Amino acid sequence: MGSEPRTVPVTGCADLAEDFGFSLMAVAHAYRTAVSSVLAGVAQGARGFQTLAAVVEGDGPDQVTLAGYLRIDRTVMTYLLDDLVAAGLVERRLDPADRRRRRIVATRRGVDTLRDLQRQVRAAEDGLLFGLEEDEREVFRTLLVRLARTAADGEPGGPSCEVDADPCDDTTVSPAPGPG
């Protein structure tokens, strides 16, 4: 076809580094690697961390909501929460309004653990973004977040899961403290 033989001057193997999908997967992989050391000690690793975050930031979601939000099978969520409960990070609390449901609430220790982990994860992220300038990082973060929102809109189990807020508790930071 064209006059030039190739457009790959430097790397002999492949030019995939220009490919969007390849780059996306590469960055995702690098991210996983970067935070894995931080999250290795946590129950259920990165998944446990994200679940804990969803619980802490959320308002006592039930397991199905949690599973849908994090794109985890509900049967897997059972074991995942088993470990988180065993680690003392969250609690299963019966919902008096619907006794089939278990509202998941974070313990005080879970909240503290999350805050600590978030700090370390943030540091690992900065290490990953080291190749970008300061302002570029912020741009990338912003665009990524916006993209995630719009991308999630087109899918089921997205960002919407209505739960109402509630005050907190002594040992657990819970949505509906109720009568114990």
Residues making contact with DNA (CB under 7 A): 62-64, 72-78, 81, 92, 98-102
Nearer to DNA, 42 or 129 (CB): 42
Asked if 173 interacts with its own copies (CB under 8 A), we say no
Asked if 146 interacts with its own copies (CB under 8 A), we say yes
DSSP 4: S
Of 89, 117, 173, 176, the one binding its own copies by CB under 8 A: 176
Nearer to DNA, 92 or 108 (CB): 92
Asked if 6 interacts with its own copies (CB under 8 A), we say yes
C-alpha to C-alpha distance for 59 and 119, rounded to whole angstroms:
22
60, 175 in Cβ contact below 8 A?
A: yes
Applying the rule CB under 8 A, the residues between 80 and 119 that interact with its own copies are: none
Q: In what order do the strands lie in the sheet with 102-107?
A: 90-94, 102-107, 172-173
121, 39 in Cβ contact below 8 A?
A: yes
Q: What are phi and psi of 173, to 5 degrees?
A: -95, 100
Query: Near its own copies by CB under 8 A, which window of 64-72, 76-84, 89-97, 102-110?
Result: 64-72
Smallest distance, DNA to C-beta of residue 73, A: 3
93, 60 in Cβ contact below 8 A?
A: yes
